[in-house]
Amino acid sequence: MGSVAENLKIIRERIAAACLRSGRDPGEVHLIGVTKTVPLDRIIEGVEAGIEILGENYVQEAKEKITALRKHNITWHFIGHLQTNKAKTAVEYCDCIQTLDRESLARELHRHALQTRRKVAVLIQVNVGAETSKNGVSPENLTDLFCYASALEGLEVQGLMALPPYYEDPNLVRPHFRAMRELLDQLRRQASRPERMTHLSMGMSHDFEQAIEEGATMVRIGTALFGTRSG
Closest CA to 135 of 206, 67, 82, 68: 82
**Residues 219 and 208 sit within 8 Å (Cβ to Cβ):** yes
Q: Identify the H or E element spanning 156.
A: strand 155-162
SS3 content of the chain, % helix, strand, coil (to 5): 50, 20, 35
What does the radius of gyration of the chain's CA atoms come to, in whole angstroms? 17
Q: What residue type is 48 in one-letter code?
A: E
Give the domains, in start order, of the chain with CATH numbers.
Answer: 4-225 (3.20.20.10)
231 pLDDT more than 70:
no
Determine the pLDDT at residue 228: 81
Threshold 0.85, pTM exceeds: yes
Q: What is the pLDDT of residues 138-189, one digit of tens each?
A: 999 999 999 999 999 999 999 999 999 999 999 999 999 999 999 999 999 9
Q: What is the pLDDT of residues 88-142, one digit of tens each?
A: 999 999 999 999 999 999 999 999 999 999 999 999 999 998 888 899 999 999 9
Q: How far apart are CA 64 and CA 51, in angstroms?
A: 19
HSE-up of residue 68 (Cα within 13 Å, Cβ side): 11
* 18 — pLDDT class (breaks 50, 70, 90): very high
Q: What is the pLDDT of residues 189-205, one digit of tens each?
A: 988 888 889 999 999 99
